[in-house]
Amino acid sequence: PFSPYSSPRSIRKKSPLKESRRVSIDKSGAYLQLNQYRLLDSIGQGSYGLVKLAYNAEDNTHYAMKILSKKKLFKKAGVFGRKNQNRKEINPLDKIYREIAVLKKLDHPNIVKLVEVLDDPVEDNLYLVFELVKRGEVLHLPTKSPLTEQKAWEYFRDVVLGLEYLHFQRIIHRDIKPSNLLLGENDHIQIADLGVCNEFDGIDACLNNTAGTPAFAAPEAICTTSHFSGKAYDIWSLGITLFAFVYGHVPFQAESIPALYNKIRNENLTFPEEPDISESLKDLITKMLCKDPVQRITLQEIKVHVWVTRDGEKPLPTESENCHLVEVTDEEIRDVVTSVPKLDTLILIKAMLKKHSFQNPFSMNPRIRGLHSTGRSHSAPGSCEWFSSLPVGSSSALAPVAESIISHKTSKKLSQE
């Protein structure tokens, strides 16, 4: 089924980065354990991999472990293709590892923290361990109970500061939406679902394909084959998000993706009569949703807009106060991941992925509901209208997996499948 809300393919003391030198793996019982992380139920799935709830007994904390496909990351990074005989060969993972090294060093109160990365050098899997934000999504769309203008103002300012920090690090998010904005215990927003291969050189990214969520896609991304500004794309998505904050739904809606894209390209923005919002807020949303990316308001202009600053009474921190450039060394890039040395220890996950036996990520069994107070996956897809009409799957939880001895020949055969 089609949903415009989900993707078709989410000031604190800085804790020291975790760098493991040895990996202990245990397959006993119903769950797989990677190092100190016990992998529990699946809590989300995106175009680039599965998200599982992970428990660390050492600190008694739950995390969100994102299992990525390196092949898909290679394709996204453009490393596939004909080799240039005159160019020195490089490891295709170098670019990905460099970006992960940058993500690990991001330290901002409005950005979800990447804790650790595990890599299986033989198989296709890459494991990103993120903190699990306590209160979950800021808003589930659609809703009949949108945010008040005051609360939207507070949360929007958080998102602006987080997005400015990402752009300062030359990172384009490409999927800003309410389900990727999570509420911490201090009632401040953290931007989640940071991807890999979204880094750019120079002053802006030149994108040439659509990504993210249809209802939040910018018109220039769906009406041309030429390159377009990555920063302007994020501003458009942020404008759709601000509209949804106060109205509870997106401004452009349709029954199919082609019809939706047609409205995004050609339909004028209109504001519902209810709820009644201020003219200054309407002015900001209108400027953010300008269909011409060249004329669209910039992030720096948003920061000084009268609605954001309360007519200058509540200015946001300057860029120099809010941002510091993250730099990584060759050593940090080299040590950014912990290698998982054996193939057969990860066959359990591969079998679950191939058989699609993981839990429906949009249902919540009693055990997961009990963990909801601990947090939510930073990258689980957002809610949408048609979820309420979908039948609940018959197998909503992972079935126990019996321990078995896998021979070297069997593991080799599975790896070739």
pLDDT tens, N- to C-terminus, the chain (417 residues): 445 565 544 344 445 545 443 445 555 556 788 888 999 988 766 556 677 889 998 999 999 888 888 887 777 665 444 444 444 445 656 777 777 888 888 999 999 998 888 887 777 788 889 898 878 899 999 999 999 999 999 999 999 999 999 999 988 888 899 988 999 889 999 998 776 546 555 666 565 555 668 999 999 988 765 777 889 999 999 999 999 999 999 999 999 999 999 999 999 999 999 999 999 999 999 999 999 999 999 999 999 999 999 999 999 999 999 999 988 888 888 787 777 655 444 444 444 555 544 444 344 444 544 454 444 444 443 433 433 344 444 434 444 444 444 444 444 444 455
Are 37 and 63 within one domain?
yes
Are 55 and 198 within one domain?
no
Residue 386 included in any domain: no
The CATH number given to whatever domain includes residue 38 is 3.30.200.20
Residues 366-389 pLDDT 10s: 454 445 444 444 444 343 343 334
Query: What's the pLDDT score for residue 99?
Result: 75
Containing structural domain, residue 39: 20-72+90-132
Residue 380 included in any domain: no
Distance CA 160, CA 315 (A): 12
Q: Which of 281, 304, 328 is the last residue of a domain?
A: 328
Are 234 and 285 within one domain?
yes
- Whether the Cβ atoms of residue 338 and residue 30 lie closer than 8 Å to each other: no
Residue 10 included in any domain: no
The CATH number given to whatever domain includes residue 252 is 1.10.510.10
- Whether the Cβ atoms of residue 197 and residue 103 lie closer than 8 Å to each other: no
Distance CA 388, CA 386 (A): 5
Are 119 and 146 within one domain?
no
Exposed / middle / buried, residue 334 (Cβ in 10 Å: 0-12, 13-18, 19+): exposed
Residue 387 included in any domain: no
Residue 338 included in any domain: no
Q: Which of 328, 357, 380 is the last residue of a domain?
A: 328
Are 143 and 283 within one domain?
yes
Residue 254 included in any domain: yes
Are 62 and 141 within one domain?
no
Query: What's the pLDDT score for residue 91?
Result: 60
Tally of structural domains, the chain: 2
Q: Which of 309, 328, 347 is the last residue of a domain?
A: 328
Among candidate residues 41, 120, 175, 344, the one labeled active-site is 175
How big is the CA angle at 47 (ends 266 and 394), to the nearest 5 degrees? 110
Are 158 and 98 within one domain?
no
User: How far is CA 405 from its chain centroid?
Assistant: 36
Residue 373 included in any domain: no
Q: Is the pTM of this model over 0.85?
A: no
Are 185 and 285 within one domain?
yes
Residue 354 included in any domain: no
Q: Which residue matches tokens 């896609």?
A: 217
Are 107 and 193 within one domain?
no
Are 160 and 198 within one domain?
yes
Known binding residues for ATP are 66
User: CB under 8 Å to 286, separation ≥6 — which residues?
Assistant: 269
| 175 belongs to the catalytic site | yes
CA proximity to 239, closest of 258, 255, 218, 254: 218
Are 100 and 228 within one domain?
no
Are 48 and 181 within one domain?
no
